[in-house]
Amino acid sequence: MTNNALTLYELNSLVRNVIDANFDDEYWVVGELSDVSTPAFGGHFYGELVQKDEREDRIVARARITCWARNYNILRLRFQKEAGETLRKGLQVKLLVRVNFHELYGYSLNVLDIDSTFTLGDLAKRRREILLQLEKAGILHDNQSLPLPRLLRRIAVISSPTAAGYGDFCHQLEENDYGFHFDLKLFPAVMQGEQVPESIIAALEAIASPPTPLPWERGGQSRETPSPTGEGWGEADLVVIIRGGGASSDLSDFDSYELASCIAQYPLPVLTGIGHERDETVLDFVAHTSVKTPTAAAAFIIGHQAEEAALLDDLYQRITHSAKELILREKQRMEHQKAVLPLLFTNFYQKQQSKQQLLYQRLSSAGSRRIELEKHRLQLMKQRMDSLDPRLLLRRGYTITTCGGKLIRSIEGLAEGEVLTTQTEKGDIYSKVVLCKKN
């Protein structure tokens, strides 16, 4: 049994012979790049091609791939020009390969060519899937529906602090032709690689989080105690996400549903300026406003402020013009009133004089009539009083009898012996009651 055993080299040689005899053709194969080792200029390309189960996201097949330096340099430049990508981890590719087996290095695929259109289609498909998912969730246009503040003064910037695009953005805002002042605050983030979505989301959360309260606001500390600097800003007017020049392949890192969902539902308007003129990411579809470069983002902000400044200037001019016209009209009205006031006063005085004279005449006439009426009434009263004077009755022959100063109208109440006084025109008669007899 031992005499019939093969050495490992012999076995691998048999496998190699079988592969060489049966796999001498070239094959197009589709898979995802993994463990890519990007060589320096002139070096060989090594990596791994894997296939994943779409439902469980697990690797079901794996093969080592190699692309020799001379061929790799040609393919790399062409692929980057056509697809705007580099051969990187996580990229879906369609490769023309030849199957190789080496006694020492084992099974591998030698890359002969790459189909750029396949990768472009895959990236576009992935982007469409994310956008459809956002639309299905009903959040695709949420950030775009936010009102853009009329004054964009406090701007939170998400960028790599060392990126040239960030420097260009800041410089353009600071040196704007209108002399506008902007308050910028950088929230650093990774703008290249697998950590892009997670890093930008963390920066967005930091911007939206309320600033750390001052010590005296938290209680228990005096105002002299130094206050820690809060991570959040809390009062930003606009959030700007910018990424300057670089490989277009890095932009696919921005095609993340989690990141796009965060921006779509963000409470502040988000302006994106990512990549170059020809580039486009999912973020461009969900942000409030999308421009192509960091300098274009700065130009948008300056232009927005310039438009608002023009509106304010126009409003100022209109208000000033209206105020001047109003002042002129009021001045003319006052001059007119000044001219006609003496005449109006004279007319008013004459009318009042006429009213007073008429009133005096009416009062005098009414007083005279009232006096005459009262005189007549007094005369009538005097006549009535005179007609009731008892002396007139006595002159006519009548008498007035009293008893104890009381007028006697009947015999009731009189008693025998009482003294009666009978008054006549010429004198009084005194008599004593002897007998009272009713009729």
The CATH number of the domain holding residue 152 is: 3.40.50.2300
Query: HEC string of 111-152?
Result: EEEECHHHHHHHHHHHHHHHHHHHHHCCCCCCHHHCCCCCCC
Alpha-carbon torsion 212, 213, 216, 221, what sign?
Answer: negative
SS3 (DSSP) at 59: strand
Last residue of a domain, one of 308, 338, 368: 308
Contacts of 99 (CB under 8 A, 6+ apart): 19, 23, 27, 107, 109, 110
Question: 74 and 184 share a domain?
Answer: no
3-state secondary structure of 327: helix
One-letter identity of residue 185: K
Number of separate domains in the chain: 3
Same domain, 197 and 263: yes
87 touches 79 (CB < 8 A): yes
Tokens standing for residue 430: 């005194």
Residue 290 inside a domain? The answer is yes
Q: How far apart are the first and last CA of the chain?
A: 190
290 with 400, same domain: the answer is no
- Residue 73 burial by CB count (10 A; 0-12/13-18/19+): exposed, middle or buried? middle
Lookup result for tokens 């890192």? 253
Instruction: Based on the fold, state whether residues 60 and 137 are members of the same structural domain.
Output: no
Whole-angstrom Cα distance, residue 314 to residue 19?
81
- Does residue 356 belong to any structural domain of this protein? no
Pair (77, 179) in one structural domain: no
| Residue-level pLDDT, tens digit, the chain, 439 residues | 456 889 999 899 999 999 888 888 899 999 988 888 877 777 899 999 998 887 777 888 999 999 999 899 999 888 887 776 778 877 888 999 999 999 898 999 999 999 888 876 677 778 888 889 999 999 999 999 999 998 899 999 999 998 888 999 999 999 999 999 999 999 999 988 788 999 999 999 999 886 655 454 444 443 333 333 334 555 899 999 998 765 555 577 788 899 999 999 999 999 999 876 555 788 989 999 999 889 999 999 999 999 998 888 888 899 998 999 999 999 988 888 888 888 888 888 888 888 888 888 888 888 888 888 989 889 888 888 877 777 777 777 788 888 888 888 888 878 888 888 888 888 888 888 888 887 6
* Residue 119 near residue 83 (C-beta atoms within 8 A): yes
Tokens of 238: 């606009």
At residue 96, the pLDDT reads 94
- Whether residue 257 lies inside any domain: the answer is yes
Contact of 107 with 49, CB cutoff 8 Å: no
Assess whether 135 and 100 both reside in one domain: no
Residues in the chain: 439
How far, in Å, CA of 163 to CA of 169, rounded?
A: 10
| 92, 161: one domain | no
- Whether residues 167 and 290 fall in one domain: yes
Same domain, 109 and 133: no
Q: Is residue 1 part of a domain?
A: no
Classify 308 as helix, strand or coil: helix
Six-digit token string for 181: 């002042």
Predicted local distance difference test score (pLDDT) of residue 316: 87
Tell me the backbone φ, ψ of residue 318, rounded to 5 degrees.
Answer: -65, -45
Task: Map residue 392 onto helix, strand or coil.
Answer: helix
Of 74, 90, 114, the residue that ends a domain is 114
- Considering the domain architecture, whether residues 179 and 76 belong to the same structural domain is answered as no
Domain range enclosing 23: 8-114
Domain end, chosen from 289, 308, 327, is at 308
Q: Domain check: are 104 and 145 in the same one?
A: no
Torsion angle of the four alpha carbons 201, 51, 106, 71, in this order, in degrees rounded to the nearest 10: -70
340 occurs within a structural domain: no
d(CA 286, CA 301): 18
Dig out the tokens for 418 from the structure: 């009482």
Q: Give the SS3 label for residue 177.
A: coil
- Report yes or no on 74 lying in a domain: yes
Residue 377 lies in a domain: no
Q: What is the CATH number of the domain that holds 61?
A: 2.40.50.140
DSSP category for residue 109? E
Alpha carbons 18 and 24: distance in angstroms, whole number: 10
Q: Are residues 133 and 105 in the same domain?
A: no
Residue 387 placed within a domain: no
> Residue 425 has which token pair?
């025109």
